[in-house]
Structure 1
Amino acid sequence: MATLGELERSVMDLLWDSETPMTSGEMRDGLAASGATGAAKDLAVTTVLTVLSRLEAKGFVTRERDSRPHLYRASMSRANHMAELMHEVLGAAPDREAVLARFVGQVTPSEAETLRRILAGN
């Protein structure tokens, strides 16, 4: 799975938090308002478009070309992305059982209960 740089993560956070597709201008304004990156206030729309192009190539973003300006949306949910990252890390571990044991040993009682429910299929 492709990794995300700081600006890419900030753009994805905006898209994941949005209920509707966004234009590059809306994302630039959202980045500036959130202060997500140090340079966000001076961020050009062309920079945001470059980041969106990279995210589209990595499979994180889809672009609706029927409208002008183009609309962008996340191609997967934040939860799916995080699950894929966890699976990738687990798959690279030489001792999966040790990694799982360490992970489970650090969860809260509430998280442990959630894991039990999920594993039970409920």
Structure 2
Amino acid sequence: MFGLGDLESSVMDVLWRVAEPVKVREVLERLSTPRQLAYTTVMTVLDNLHRKGWVERALDGKAYRYQPALSREEAAARALRTILDSSGDPEAVLLHFAQSASEEEVDVLRKGLRRKARKR
């Protein structure tokens, strides 16, 4: 995911795949990485993600349970907004994207723009 390191992205992927808040040990058990990770490594990554606003946590006994602060789709939209805001020419970026979009994606964009126009 844009703005996250590889391990942070892997941890977020685990959190997005589970239905309920999970403890560090549960994240560690679900991670599929090429190397064995220490519990403290995953705990540090989750703490960093919490500090960055990517995850929420609640104390459950002596340990925290973690869950995503936003959905995968909201995170992707946030990344796209960051790209557009930092591009210097968001119109050009959007036009290039529109040229690469599939017919299904174009239909979805049209529906979204119609909804937005109705809300005004």
TM-score, scaled to structure 2: 0.89
Q: Within the alignment, does 1:108 sit opposite 2:102 as a pair?
A: yes
Deviation at residue 26 of structure 1 after TM alignment: 0.5
SS in 1 for 2:50: helix
**1:62-73 correspondence runs (5 A):** 62-73=56-67
What letter matches 1:23 in structure 2?
A: K
Deviation at residue 73 of structure 1 after TM alignment: 0.6
Q: Within the alignment, does 1:10 sit opposite 2:4 as a pair?
A: no
Instruction: Select the residue among 85, 103, 106 that pairs with 1:91.
Output: 85
Aligned equivalents of 2:89 and 2:15: distance in 1? 35
Deviation at residue 92 of structure 1 after TM alignment: 1.2
Partner of 2:19: 19
Q: Determine what percentage of the aligned residue pairs are the same residue.
A: 37
Partner of 1:48: 42
Structure 1 segments of 4 or more deviating over 4 A? none
Deviation at residue 65 of structure 1 after TM alignment: 1.2
Aligned equivalents of 1:79 and 1:68: distance in 2? 32
Aligned equivalents of 1:67 and 1:60: distance in 2? 22
Aligned equivalents of 2:60 and 2:13: distance in 1? 24
What letter matches 2:22 in structure 1?
A: M
Aligned equivalents of 2:40 and 2:106: distance in 1? 45
Deviation at residue 44 of structure 1 after TM alignment: 1.4
Where in structure 2 are there 5+ consecutive unaligned residues?
none
